[in-house]
Structure 1
Amino acid sequence: MNKFTKSFLTFLGLMLCFGITTIQAQQIYKVQIKDEIGPNAWRVYKNAYQNALDAKADYILIDMDTFGGAVNYADSIRSALLNSSVKTIVYINHNAASAGALIAIASDHIFMQKGASIGAASVVDAKGEILPEKYQSYMRGLMRATAEAKGRDPRIAEAFVDPSISIPTLKPDGKLLTMTAGEAVKSGIAQAEVVSEKDIFVALKFEKPVVTQHKTTVVDAIIGFLINPMVSGVLILLIIGGIYAEMQTPGIGFALVVALVAGALFFAPLYMEGLAAHWEIALFIIGIVLIALEIFVIPGFGVAGVLGILCLVCGLAFSMVSNDYFDFKLAHPGMLFNSFMIVIGSMILAVILMVIFGKNILKSSAFKRLVLQDEQKSDEGYTSSIHKTSLLHKQGVAKTVLRPSGKIEIEGVWYDAVALDGFIEVGAQVYVEKHENYNLFVRKIEELDA
């Protein structure tokens, strides 16, 4: 071998070494899934994946510790992992139960911390009770298909859901499969049992890994807070309470502003998460319009009012649940029922609170500071409350619907009035029974005659 050949081979060897070193210096984008699998987890992963693409990362590392959650959101993350153009690693840092197990087996590499577990993926309701076979069949299919796509044993993945599958070496017959880290490694589900992330990088032969931690934004935190069911219930309470107060006290305005702001805070995050669709928001608005027509235009309480309440309730409830035009098969079992209970419960509580405390709140000095009071000029037919005591026992006519408050006319002058019987239609003859503060309290003359 001549000197030139030796020099060339030496140069080639150095270049190969340099190339290997360059390949092993990997860019890792890390994201945590530490809570229940739901809309917030799906949003976080979508943002993390896009950031990983922008950063030209070689791997996405999911640091997982979850007991599961909604199947539809877990399936969305699963699909994103299966279709990912970036290699994916799931580090099970304690738990990957139920929906977490589905996400884990969709990744390219699974590493488990010592003492971690994976499995128990039967579909259950909010009380933890096993749901009917149709739900289990769907979950079994997802598990099996995912495992096959990633070259893992589909029978083991299916045993996470189906206790009837017999795997004597891993579980007793009739029991769901939950695997320890050691068992998952032996069965080929997981790649290795590790103590920390550093062990993962060693196992994958990353000599110079550069890890970028995904950071949630303020917007993510706000959206995650607003879509919490408890917060949604409070917002519904404010929506209904504001509408109720506005209808009971025409012209105030502030209560309507509260309802509108609460409605925006309720629907906006759900719309951004893909839960609230245009038709669901439209259904809610139609409900408000129908109720308003029933209150201010159509006398009595009939079809428009009932339909309005139904549209309002359904618009709010459907917005909280993932569906495809009334197809709720991908929604977490029991979620639709829970959303209706939240909406109905909040509505009932709002009405009760307004009936008990509404008058005191509307007349409080703090509330009056927030409200622009209408100027009642004498040349427009208004008069001071000082003279209203002289109106006792006089007769007049209702100029607006009293439900129970509204306007009446006595001897050509308009006054604020409250119907003691709860409702008086436009044009009805009324009788002034008493006077308190700024209001006259009246009854229908027909009822007095009866």
Structure 2
Amino acid sequence: MRPRKQALSHVRLWLSVICLAIAFLGLSMGSFANAKGYQKVVWVPVDQQIEQGLGSFLKRAFTQAESEGADLIILHINTPGGEVGAADAIGQLIRQSPIHVVAYIDNQAFSAGTYIALNANEIVMTPGSSIGAATPIDMAGNAADVKIISGWSTKMAEAASLNNRDEMVARAMVEIDTEYPGLKEKGSVLSLGADRAKELGYADQVVANKTELFTYLGVQPDSMQTIEPTIGERVARVVTSPVVMSLLLIIGLLGIVIELFAPGFGVAGTISLCAFGLYFFGHYVAGFANWLHIGLFVLGILLMILEIFLPGGIVGAIGFIGIVTGLIMAAYDTKQGLASLGIAVLVTAIVTFLLIKKYGFKTLFNKFILGEVQRNEAGYVAPKDQRDLLGQVGIALTPLRPAGVVRIDGSRIDAVSVGGFITAGTSVMVVQVEGTRVVVQENEAKE
């Protein structure tokens, strides 16, 4: 009997050891499960307005993070919203990334910012922060068209479903005219604080600060890398805003018009070149413009200048098409490029009309006809009365395209041909004199 008792004791002992081992292993597995175990962490700011330039920066940041072997990206979101088109592209970037993405909200993630956060794998918020109010609005600040709201509501719901979040909550953040019992009344949109967001599954965790965030994620702050936008990318973020795009085009076109009313090349022309240069620089850095677009614009400007010396209008028309094509193709979206250019042309046309009304059309016309301004200090003194030249015959010293120089009775006279091109050395006759403006035509009876 005693050996049997000893055997049972041994069995009980081994069973106890096995149970303890299993319990210990379970605890160990649980602790490892709670530890995130991220090795390479990247911190990326998503702040201010959501626009196309931000999308370009985030694309670079995600590419850099992936190339450096990062396994976690923390998007620090603090934005009032922005363009839904830009947010859509950023959401696609996040969804397609093989890296785990956490959206950290310590202030606000409204409108387009909400959509970006919903595409992340996790959302972490701090007390006092908010998410939601994602109704698209138009340029006037009013709610967008019903079709746009409906489409955006569906996109928000699809983004919410990626991580098993309630789609109705996402729709309640967008749709104004729909009542969602328990969430919002008709005529309002839903926004959530941190605690309410966690209750509804729209925040995976609520932390007090970044320190608690790192603890929750199991991240060592010293090993974290921050990717900031470059100066060029910051400029691109501003320039690619639809409002700034339109403003730059208005300044550029107005500068050209004002320059036509002023002698020489001055401040207006310089500002115009700077505006167009900034437009192309921002879109080039953002990845929307290339050298082809810039080349088309520069070629168009050169052809427009050449039109001053060549009659017919064909060269000028081609130049105008080149300018318009370059500006529109450089924009991130053709429709937006057309809209911004249309606004700029409208404003420029109004200002041009006012300038012509004040200074007269002749000022603008003469600016095109004469290639340079004669000044006393340059040795040129215009005769006060040149009516005695009428009917006289001379020789074209330079080609007249239509402006040029002729010689009459040994004197050099600035003249303009009657519409056509006259080669140098051709005999010409003065057919009209208006003050200092001398008009000539080819003389059929040669000298």
Flag whether TM exceeds 0.5 (same fold): yes
**Aligned-partner Cα distance in 2 for 1:288–1:387:** 31
Deviation larger for 213-222 or 117-126: 213-222
Q: Does 1:385 align with 2:398?
A: no
What's the counterpart of residue 316 of structure 1? Answer: 327
CA displacement at 1:113 relative to structure 2: 1.9
What's the counterpart of residue 363 of structure 1? Answer: none
- Rg (Cα) greater in structure: 2
What's the counterpart of residue 437 of structure 2? Answer: 441
Q: Does 1:58 align with 2:71?
A: yes
Under a length normalisation based on structure 2, what TM-score does the superposition of the two structures give? 0.69
Q: Does 1:33 align with 2:46?
A: yes
Q: Does 1:337 align with 2:339?
A: yes
CA displacement at 1:158 relative to structure 2: 1.8
Distance change in 2, residues 1:169/1:271 (3 Å): same
Distance change in 2, residues 1:413/1:426 (3 Å): farther
- What SS does the aligned partner of 1:52 have? helix
Distance change in 2, residues 1:127/1:23 (3 Å): closer
Correspondences of 1:84-233 after superposition (within 5 Å): 84-206=97-219, 210-224=223-237, 226-227=239-240, 229-230=243-244, 233=247
- What SS does the aligned partner of 1:78 have? helix
Unaligned segments of structure 2, at least 5 residues: 1-12, 360-371, 423-428, 442-447
CA displacement at 1:400 relative to structure 2: 2.8
Distance change in 2, residues 1:310/1:213 (3 Å): same
Q: Tell whether the 8 Å contact from 1:424 to 1:444 is kept in structure 2 after alignment.
A: no
CA displacement at 1:393 relative to structure 2: 3.6
Q: How many residues align?
A: 393
Unaligned segments of structure 1, at least 5 residues: 357-372, 375-382, 435-439, 446-450
**Aligned-partner Cα distance in 2 for 1:164–1:390:** 76
- What SS does the aligned partner of 1:161 have? coil
Q: Does 1:237 align with 2:283?
A: no
1:394 to 389, 398, 421: 389
- Cα deviation code 1:286-305 (max 9, x no counterpart): 75477457544334x6x876
**Aligned-partner Cα distance in 2 for 1:39–1:388:** 59
- Cα deviation code 1:192-214 (max 9, x no counterpart): 22221222223334467732121
**Aligned-partner Cα distance in 2 for 1:39–1:111:** 25
Under a length normalisation based on structure 1, what TM-score does the superposition of the two structures give? 0.69
Tell me the C-alpha RMSD between the 2 structures: 4.7
Distance change in 2, residues 1:237/1:424 (3 Å): farther
CA displacement at 1:98 relative to structure 2: 0.9
Q: Tell me which amino acid in the other structure corresponds to 2:85.
A: N
- Cα deviation code 1:110-164 (max 9, x no counterpart): 1112111111212111221112122112212211221122222222112211234
Q: Tell whether the 8 Å contact from 2:253 to 2:345 is kept in structure 1 after alignment.
A: no
